Structure 1
Amino acid sequence: MPQHPRTSLLALALAGGVTALLLTGCAGWQERVCMPDEDPVLAVNDAGSGCVARDEEPAPGWTRYPEGKVPVHLDDTWDRYWSDKTVDENGRVVPLPR
């Protein structure tokens, strides 16, 4: 049974779009550290990070990142910066304990 030329063209365009999407992955997409309504937090004097709702205080032993040094996406500048650092009980940036 012959196909209508428009149907063939539409099928070809859809197949091309799907192929392009599969080949590029989601190029340029970066995973966020936290959900948009959350702030990232880090463990005081210890390794570890998490997320807390913007309108809540972090649990004891946790604190928000210092202003201007907050990671937003996984593997961004600040996420890499904090990979070997934390903060102490006075809020000073210190090396991670061994």
Structure 2
Amino acid sequence: MRSSIRVRPASRVSGGRPVRSLVGLALAGAAAAAALTGCSMEDATCGGGEYPVLRVGGSGSACQPDGEEPPKGYARYPEGKVPEHVGDKWDTYWSDHTLDKNGKIIKLKDGQ
């Protein structure tokens, strides 16, 4: 006697569409949404609710909570020259530059 039960392949869902196509479509949609909303895969310089500060007279930086002034020995980056992501243009620039005690941009000497 023949059975009347039909088994569907695991790679298909109702309607006959391959699961692979649906997964690919979902991934493509997520990538497009990330690109359109400005999401980045780069590491941010600071976390949410923080801003980066620069060590005065030497190399180094830190993250300061929004609304608080930089700690002693640190200053805000000059406007328009604030690093946003690790390895971006300004992050690289500030690896060998800093501010002096008067707020003037200076080039660091080796080992500073």
Q: Deviations over 1:23-56 (max 9, x none)?
A: xxx9962221112321111111111011101201
In structure 1, distance between residues paired with 2:74 and 2:15: 59
TM-score w.r.t. structure 2 length? 0.66
| Counterpart in the other structure of 1:13 | 21
Structure 2 counterpart of 1:54: 66
Give the root-mean-square deviation of aligned CA atoms.
2.8
Aligned residues: 93
Structure 1 residues 85 and 9, CA gap change in structure 2 (3 angstroms): same
- State whether structure 2 residue 43 is matched by structure 1 residue 31: yes
* Larger fraction in helix: 1
- Normalization by structure 1: what TM-score? 0.74
Q: Looking at both structures, which has the greater relative contact order when contacts are Cα pairs under 8 Å and sequence separation is at least 6? A: 1
1:2 corresponds to 2:8: yes
Q: Percent of aligned pairs with the same residue?
A: 41
Structure 2: tracts of 5 or more residues without a match: 1-6, 29-33
Q: Which residue of 2 aligns with 1:72?
A: 84
Which runs of 5 or more structure 1 residues have no equivalent in the other structure? Answer: 21-25
